[in-house]
């Protein structure tokens, strides 16, 4: 498979794009809640997340605005490890990501997207903490989807039985967001 999806071009820097601004919660106050339709809801501090078994990976990062950052290195906790901890219920079909930002950003995906290879709750990028402007202290990395499906400043993963549209999806962006199918907007989802 080609590394660069159709309609994309490569960049060497990481452009800063956001719907809002970070609320800049200090690390000692930051938490990640994983709740909803799970057997074992948790609230993890930043240190507790770092204490979980880390995963290092290399993946590509594709923005809906047509740029791609290739072969980027991430470190964090794999979704597989977090799933063992929280044990999603069978009726959990959808996951809504919540961000700590000024726009009350959310984005949602089918739960099946979290089960794909290389899905990570990341806290490092290229060997350094993820900078605030790029979503630090953590962001979910779904490399198979456009980057707006990888919420910056992640504070909650809410498991639901039904779809709930997020910030960009309400504004006409694709719910599916597959860069290989160029699913940028709702009308592209019919491909």
Q: Check residues 105 and 95 and name the one with the higher pLDDT.
A: 95
Tell me how many domains the chain contains. 1
pLDDT(75) > 70: yes
Full-prediction pTM beyond 0.85?
yes
Flag whether 9 is in a domain. no
CA 33 to chain centre: 14
Residue 188 pLDDT class (50, 70, 90 cuts): confident
Strands 154-160 and 94-99, how do they pair?
Answer: antiparallel
Mean pLDDT throughout 113-130?
95
Flag whether 91 is in a domain. yes
Q: Check residues 134 and 59 and name the one with the higher pLDDT.
A: 59
Flag whether 8 is in a domain. no
Distance CA 59, CA 102 (A): 28
Q: What percent of the chain has pLDDT over 90?
A: 76
Q: What percent of the chain has pLDDT over 70?
A: 93
Distance CA 3, CA 54 (A): 25
Dihedral angle over CA of 104, 110, 116, 122, nearest 10: 10
Number of residues that this document lists for the chain: 191
CATH number at residue 152: 3.90.420.10
Flag whether 23 is in a domain. no
pLDDT(88) > 80: yes
Q: What range defines the domain where residue 164 resides? A: 29-190
Q: What is the mean pLDDT of the chain?
A: 91
Residue 128 pLDDT class (50, 70, 90 cuts): very high
């Amino acid at each position: 498979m080609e590394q660069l999806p159709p309609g994309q071009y490569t960049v060497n820097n990481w452009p800063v794009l956001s719907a809002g601004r970070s609320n800049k919660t200090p690390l000692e106050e930051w938490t990640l809640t994983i709740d909803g339709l799970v057997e074992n809801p948790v609230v993890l501090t930043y240190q507790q997340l770092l204490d979980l078994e880390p995963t290092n990976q290399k993946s590509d990062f594709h923005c809906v605005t047509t740029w791609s950052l290739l072969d980027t290195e991430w470190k964090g906790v794999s979704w597989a490890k977090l799933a063992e901890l929280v044990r999603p219920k069978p009726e959990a079909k959808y996951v809504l990501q919540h961000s700590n930002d000024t726009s009350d950003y959310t984005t949602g995906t089918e739960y099946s997207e979290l089960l794909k290879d290389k899905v990570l709750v990341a806290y490092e990028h290229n060997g350094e903490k993820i900078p605030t402007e790029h979503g630090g202290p953590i962001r979910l990395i779904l490399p198979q989807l456009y980057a707006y499906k990888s919420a910056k400043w992640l504070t909650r993963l809410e498991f639901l039985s039904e779809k709930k549209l997020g910030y960009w999806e309400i504004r006409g962006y694709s719910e599916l967001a597959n860069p290989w199918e160029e699913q940028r907007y709702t009308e592209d989802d019919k491909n």
